[in-house]
Structure 1
């Protein structure tokens, strides 16, 4: 099963939730009622692959806690210790949206253009990329860096929409 992820920028979680309500949880990139600026980045989840990108930028080993997030969708209380009560519980079925810590946005925004190829080459070493090359990942790094720069310039946060 593939994981779809769209990275986007928004002023705040409230505007994200409002757009997701209008679009019935659909992608925030150009869907009905949404239209946030962002990047389609299949499988770039906040914890592992974005965390590995942050590690590549900072030239440190990846750790599970490199990217702090907060769930903004679905709304409502998370399931208890026994899991979701219903099969169609949105906490089980998704989609999910995570707000990323502003420090991560700034790490990406601070990548100089002349370093993007080297960062992409380091990021390509992550086993989750299954042999992708830095040259193949370079456009994605460029897009994510540009998105982070735009978010910082506008005083916005980065968000990740995740769907199975």
Structure 2
């Protein structure tokens, strides 16, 4: 079972929650009228996969917690599932949305264009990619960087929507 991930920008967590309440946690199609500006990034979780890109952009080793996240959705208290059979707990079933720290947005937004190919080459070398060709990852990295630049220019935050 794969994890679907979309990255998007919004003014604040309250704006995100308002939309998710209307859609019962679903994210409207990205880039359509009235929806969020974002990037589909199947399987690129914030902590590990995006964290590997952030580490490459910053020129430092990846570490747990490099990408700071704050839960935005579900809005219920985070009790955690009572067990795998707890299908009523939104924390067990998703979808989930986290707000990424501004340091992540700013690291992506601030990478010089000439440094992007080298950073993507390092990112492609991450064990989780299983030997991916940097040329295959370059378009995704460029989309994430462009999204971060738009978010920073607009004074917005980055968010990650995830579901199973």
**Partners of 2:76 and 2:85 in 1: how far apart?**
14
Residue of structure 1 equivalent to 2:112 = 112
**Partners of 1:152 and 1:105 in 2: how far apart?**
7
Q: TM-score, normalised by structure 2?
A: 0.93
Residue of structure 2 equivalent to 1:128 = 128
Residue of structure 1 equivalent to 2:153 = 153
2:76 match: secondary structure: coil
Deviation at 1:87, TM superposition (A): 1.9
* Equivalent residue runs for 1:68-83 within 5 Å: 68-79=68-79
Stretch deviating more after TM superposition (18-27 or 30-39): 30-39
Q: Deviations over 1:61-90 (max 9, x none)?
A: 110010110000000100158568942211
In terms of fraction of residues, the more helix-rich structure is 2
Task: Note the residue ranges of structure 1 that are not aligned, 5 or more in a row.
Answer: none
**Partners of 1:31 and 1:117 in 2: how far apart?**
26
Aligned-residue Cα RMSD (Å) equals 2.0
Q: Deviations over 1:24-76 (max 9, x none)?
A: 11124349996100000011111001111111111111100101100000001
1:2 match: secondary structure: coil
Q: TM-score, normalised by structure 1?
A: 0.93
1:6 aligns with 2:6: yes
Aligned length: 164
Do the aligned residues in 1 keep the contact of 2:57 with 2:108 (CA within 8 Å)?
Answer: yes
**Partners of 1:32 and 1:89 in 2: how far apart?**
30
1:47 match: secondary structure: helix
Residue of structure 2 equivalent to 1:95 = 95
Distance of aligned partners of 1:62 and 1:9 in 2 relative to their CA distance in 1, 3 Å threshold: same
